Chains A and B, each alone.
Chain A
Amino acid sequence: MRAAREMSAAKAAPGSYIEASPLRQRFRIAVARKGLPYALITPALLVILGVLGWPLAMLVSLSLQHYGLRELFQHQGTFVGLKNFSTILADPQFAYTLKATVIFTVANVGLSMLFAVLIALLLERVSRFVRILLGGGLVFVWATPVIPAVNLWQWMFDYEFGVINWALTRIGAGNYMHHNWFENPLQGFAVVTVIVVWGAIPFLAISLHAGLTQVPRELIDAAQIDGARAWQVFVHVTLPILRPLLLVLVSLSTIWDFGVFNQVWVLLSQRPSSDYYLMSIYSFQESFRVSQYGLGSAVSVVMILILVVATFLYVRQTVRSINEGGA
């Protein structure tokens, strides 16, 4: 809208523009109006298409090829149609991986959102001092890069000298001395979940707190005068207003958690057993460990397709809000 308004403003531009400029400049203005925006986006567009678009197209084409070690040396795969897809769909490891990834994503998105909403509500209710302190702490955690973060959790969950085993034993939760968290994949995934959720909470909670401050006070007061309880106010007043924000946050979390790679990879010292395969790890191992780049690409394509479907609503919402002229 803004841009359109500005365009019309430029068309009705001060006469001095034309007066001061002979034909050549008038021509330049005409070109500028039509061509300038294209000239401005072209460099960025070329980079994005060249460095992301091209590999994306190549990924799809690779998923339709047999591409092993021999093909790697020849830089040329052989077209096999949808055979890679039928191979992975028949592979029990793929079924396990897909199931594990979906459960992992649902659990991580759910827990991250739950804690983030609770902390956002808490931030509204605490005193100013605690709000600043907690907010600062959240920003600190948010700022911590993922690889150092995984390393520090690795240290906390260390089987021999880890502080968590010590604490669990100390509070009487059982004997956790020399407990290896990664023997049992369920416990291992619990550790990964702790790392992912801990890292995800700050961004989500701070965004939600910002969203909560936008909820009009009068609406809440009115609901309270009408006798609504706190949870009723939350469900019937706050939640509907936060709905678009929640949609964005759930979508972004889904994208991030569905593609989790670093946490598992670094936590298990770059040698995860097949119990720990999430989609991204599976695709990586198929390609770089057993050199089946075609199969690995097929897994990645499936992964992207699932994400496209899962986040369709988010993209639609964002584009719509832009076209309505929102910030």
Chain B
Amino acid sequence: MRNHVSRTGYDVIGLLVFAVMMFPIYWMVSTAFKPGKEILSLTPYWFPNPITLDNFRDAIAVPFFWNDVVNSLVVVCTVVAISIILAFLAAVAVARFGFKGRSAFIVMVIAVQMVPLNALVIPIYLLLDSVGQVDSLLGVIAYYMAVVLPFMIWTLRGFVHNIPVDLEEAAMVDGATRLGAFMRIVFPLVAPGLVATAIFGFIQAWNEYIIAYVLLSSSSKQTLTIWLASFTTQHGTDWGGLMAGATLTALPVVVFFLLVQRHVAGGLTAGAVKG
């Protein structure tokens, strides 16, 4: 009986925590659908009534929106396409081979992730400035690759490591070459991991702010996270437009994240939980 009562008590607390954590997101989305007079009201309206798409229309009409969507996509897709290949090769080396310098390489991959990105903004800016690549997507792409690579290597290493070597050996006993065994046995098994890691890299690059902010100064070359600042002017902030823009910017990330969270979450804490 007592157990039953305390379970209900915990459920109530759980629902409260859920409400507190989710409210900000609800507030962003509901503001995005509200007409102006319900947004700029001293007493909040809890539900948009009537629901309007005006804020989204305004947000899309902000200069350079589509331009910046394309920029974001170009940068992120290039970064992910190249780095997933490089990361996969390195991950196979680390997970499947013993070689001199393997530990050093692993230490480097972990240690590099410790360096706060914004600490490197100064030399990156000066380096790209000296070769005339400031305000170009190329510089941003090169830099983002280095940002996502260590994490990708680390995560993929876990996926490759978890595929039993016995499977490959069995295929080789049956006459497959090493490469054949790898392509036919390991690759299909690791494919979901590759997709998950690629999507996670996509999210990281899509969300990046400071490098794009420092490097990309002309409006036609900016990415979406920088574009969001255009809703704040000297006359104040267009909250409806900003919330609609924020919702649009967050949407692809949230969708992707919900798809892969289960697969990649372990990567960050790998080694800490025995499994």
Contact = CB atoms under 8 A, between A and B. Distances in A.
B107 A156 contact: no
A145 B124 contact: no
Contact of B28 (A56, A155, A323): A155
Counting contact residues on chain A (CB < 8 A from B), the size range is: 35 or more
Contact of A130 (B14, B44, B83, B109): B14
A53 to B, nearest CB: 8
A280 B17 CA distance: 32
Interface string B68-108: 00000000000000010011011011111111011101111
A311 B92 CA distance: 27
Most buried by B among A37, A283, A311: A37
A43 B89 contact: yes
A319 B118 contact: no
B116 A323 contact: no
A51 B270 CA distance: 25
A17 to B, nearest CB: 8
A138 B21 contact: yes
Contact of A280 (B10, B24, B119): B119
B110 A315 contact: yes
B274 A214 contact: yes
A290 to B, nearest CB: 13
Contacts of B98: 3-4, 7
A137 interface: yes
Interface in A36-88: 36-38, 40-41, 43-45, 47-48, 50-52, 54-56, 58-59, 62, 67, 72, 75
B249 A148 contact: yes
B142 interface: yes
Contacts of B173: 14
Contacts of A181: none
Contacts of B261: 139, 142-143
A171 interface: no
B22 interface: yes
B185 interface: no
Contacts of B17: 119, 122, 134
A297 B116 contact: no
Contacts of B99: 34, 37-38
A167 to B, nearest CB: 8
A307 B114 contact: yes
Nearest to B174: A14
Contact of B97 (A7, A166, A288): A7
A229 interface: no
Interface string A177-189: 1000000000000
A316 to B, nearest CB: 10
Interface stretch (B47-55, B189-197, B204-212): B204-212
B257 interface: yes
Contacts of B5: none
Shortest 4 CB-CB distances between A and B: which pairs?
A259-B116, A51-B146, A148-B246, A143-B257
Given A14-B173, A52-B112, A147-B228, 17 more contacts: A4-B98, A10-B178, A14-B172, A47-B146, A55-B124, A59-B122, A75-B129, A126-B11, A143-B257, A148-B228, A248-B271, A259-B117, A261-B118, A261-B210, A297-B123, A317-B272, A318-B110
6 contacts: A37-B93, A52-B120, A126-B10, A134-B17, A284-B121, A301-B119
